[in-house]
Amino acid sequence: SAVISQKPSRDICQRGTSLTIQCQVDSQVTMMFWYRQQPGQSLTLIATANQGSEATYESGFVIDKFPISRPNLTFSTLTVSNMSPEDSSIYLCSVGQGGRVASSRGEQYFGPGTRLTVT
């Protein structure tokens, strides 16, 4: 399994500012995913990040608001820009584990999440 860390684990930010969340994986992975979980809600995919290409955003999410970087196969960042209280959520990084071992195909692991509160 992949071990994923996220920084920061939590933050309280002022309206109008930006926060960059880092996601580090202990092995090389092809695809990384960023999810948002608003209070009391389920998880919603923000975007898919492949190394060396632009991130693919889901409906309702735009690059200007959630720019993503994927500089290599073990690291990604998500920035929440010009924050408002509606952005208060848990943001989770996830990786898919490909590979030659059949049992590892389709595995999806999640980081511990970043709890963001916007005041």
Nearer to another protein by C-beta: 63 or 82?
A: 63
Spatial CA neighbour of 95 closest among 119, 70, 116, 118: 70
* Helix-strand-coil split of the chain, %, nearest 5: 5, 50, 45
Token pair 């820009």: residue: 81
- Using the rule CB under 8 A, is 106 a contact of another protein? yes
Q: How far is CA 37 from the centre of its chain?
A: 11
Interface residue with another protein, options 33, 70, 76, 78 (CB under 8 A) = 33
Nearer to another protein by C-beta: 35 or 66?
A: 35
Nearest approach in angstroms of CB 81 to another protein is 23
Q: What are phi and psi of 113, to 5 degrees?
A: 90, 155
Residues 38-77 that bind another protein (CB under 8 A): 41-45, 48
Nearer to another protein by C-beta: 67 or 96?
A: 96
Nearest approach in angstroms of CB 2 to another protein is 10
